[in-house]
Amino acid sequence: MVPNPQPKRLSIGIVGGGIGGVAFAVALSRDPGLEVHLFEAAERFSEIGAGVSFGPNAVRAISLLGLEASYRRIADSSPAPFEDVWFEWRRGNDDAYLSASLAPGCGQSSVHRADFLDAIVAHLPEGVAHFGKRCVEVRQDDERATAHFDDGTSFTADILIGFDGIKSAVREHVLPPEQYRDLGPFWSGTYAYRGMIPTEQLEAAMEARGADRRLAVVPQMYLGTDRHILTFPVKQSELINVVAFITDRSTPTPRLPEGEAWVNAVTQEEMLSVFEGWGAASQAILECIPAPTRWALHELPELPHYHRDRVLIVGDAAHAMVPHQGAGAGQALEDAYVLASLLTDEACDRHNARQALAAFEVVRHARTCQVQRSSHQAGDLYEYRAFGIGDDEAKLASELETRFDWLWNHDPQDDVVAARIRLGWESGSRTALA
């Protein structure tokens, strides 16, 4: 670690270097008054080669975090004249158009995950990130918190932030299993088949199947009972990201077969058989994915707390959700912005940082739980199982037109102001962290 002779206002340990942890570390590292270290279990930063889509709220958080230029360089949007389209909704059986969700000024803003992580890692100063550090235990006393790693080393700071994803080790410390019931991840009942297709190949396949070529490049959702398929472009429209979902709703508490991994390579035949009888576009899409992976989608229950004194969990560690609103990474980025805004406030130091973590929990908890809950419900809606809507396509179409507005219209600067008011720091200012 690089020694720094300046006395620091506050030292912060971050466990986990995914999209959320890295964006957070970048924002903190711009403040010379903070000592910041990030510990990642893997030997390098890495993300899978799939797409991730961001709603207007997530793009707003990216911009407030000072990462907009890096994002814009690699982000895709829906092609003209469909710039505002988040998704078009179609019946899976015959590709019939049902409705569209519009996100004015944003549309379907998406990136290739690995490209996005690389773009934000480029902003991280040397010496902040430490690799091969899998956190196995967290302890704290009245003064400091310590993360212990599986290589026998440890790191002590004024506060620790767990950005360590759905299988978080830090969560066990915040919500000890002996005190709380089992609050670990559970299988949602949904499997997601994933793949990427070169755009030209998909356009040709659509045409060969008699489907409209345009469906390849304009973001689409094909809906049916207990199943749906989504597509959107990534890598400057070079590739189309595909996720095809099937849900087991035969029991309220579905269980994965004993010993089954969360992610498996499966055959194309398996995936095709799930969507047998679906329309031309769906067949064209799935026939272009010779080697899909199948993900058992897990989520967390709504947790009672995110913080315990000097330790806080955020991002998927605190509120992992099913991806049906494309909102999980967006919530991690909103968390990163709100928390970084509080910790870089000059009123924040080692004496009151615990209060800042508590205020963060108060202002973020209701929203993140609502996003978790509504993400699960969105899956029911797309798969013709929503309470009071079911397979009534007229109701479904009208619900989809406005369903996401509350999620997208949120401004995380309001969370910062609310937390500052609780902390007695409020100056009324709303700031970006660039």
Ligand X SMILES: Cc1cc2nc3c(=O)[nH]c(=O)nc-3n(C[C@H](O)[C@H](O)[C@H](O)COP(=O)(O)OP(=O)(O)OC[C@H]3O[C@@H](n4cnc5c(N)ncnc54)[C@H](O)[C@@H]3O)c2cc1C
The answer to whether residue 338 forms part of the interface with ligand X (CB under 6 A) is no
* Pairing verdict, β 135-140 and 10-15: unpaired
The answer to whether residue 40 forms part of the interface with ligand X (CB under 6 A) is yes
Minimum gap (Å) between residue 297 Cβ and ligand X = 6
Please count the residues of this chain forming the interface with ligand X, following the rule CB under 6 A. 35
Region from 30-38, 127-135, 355-363, 368-376 binding ligand X, contact rule CB under 6 A? 127-135
The answer to whether the CB of 316 falls within 8 A of the CB of 19 is: no
The answer to whether the CB of 365 falls within 8 A of the CB of 312 is: no
**Nearer to ligand X among residue 295 and residue 360 (C-beta):** 295
The answer to whether the CB of 131 falls within 8 A of the CB of 46 is: no
Return the residue nearest ligand X (CB atom): 18
Region from 14-22, 27-35, 120-128, 368-376 binding ligand X, contact rule CB under 6 A? 14-22
Pick one of 89, 193, 295, 408: the residue that binds ligand X (CB under 6 A).
Answer: 295
CA distances from 38 to 24, 117, 336 (A): 10, 15, 14
Please give the Cα distance from 281 to 213 (Å, whole number). 9
Letters for 218-247 (x = contact with ligand X by CB under 6 A, - = none) are -------------------------x----
Please give the Cα distance from 245 to 286 (Å, whole number). 12
Minimum gap (Å) between residue 426 Cβ and ligand X = 28
Region from 96-104, 164-172, 353-361, 396-404 binding ligand X, contact rule CB under 6 A? 164-172
Calculated CA dihedral for residues 237, 334, 107, 397, nearest 10 degrees: 120
Angle between helix 56-64 and 328-343 (nearest 10): 30
Residue with tokens 């094909």: 222
Minimum gap (Å) between residue 128 Cβ and ligand X = 14
* Helix residue ranges per DSSP H, 1-86: 19-29, 56-64, 68-74
Q: Which of residues 56-95 bind ligand X (CB under 6 A)?
A: 58
Catalytic residues: 194
**Nearer to ligand X among residue 311 and residue 417 (C-beta):** 311
The answer to whether the CB of 120 falls within 8 A of the CB of 26 is: yes
The answer to whether residue 412 forms part of the interface with ligand X (CB under 6 A) is no
Which pair of structure tokens corresponds to residue 130? Answer: 């430490």
Letters for 17-36 (x = contact with ligand X by CB under 6 A, - = none) are xxxxx---------------
Pick one of 56, 92, 219, 330: the residue that binds ligand X (CB under 6 A).
Answer: 330
Q: C-alpha 369: how far from its chain's center? A: 14
The torsion angles phi and psi of 45, rounded to 5 degrees, stand at -65, 135
Minimum gap (Å) between residue 328 Cβ and ligand X = 2
The answer to whether residue 334 forms part of the interface with ligand X (CB under 6 A) is no
Q: Which residues bind ligand X (CB under 6 A)?
A: 15-21, 39-42, 52-53, 58, 133-135, 163-165, 167, 169, 192, 243, 295, 297, 315-316, 323, 326-330, 332
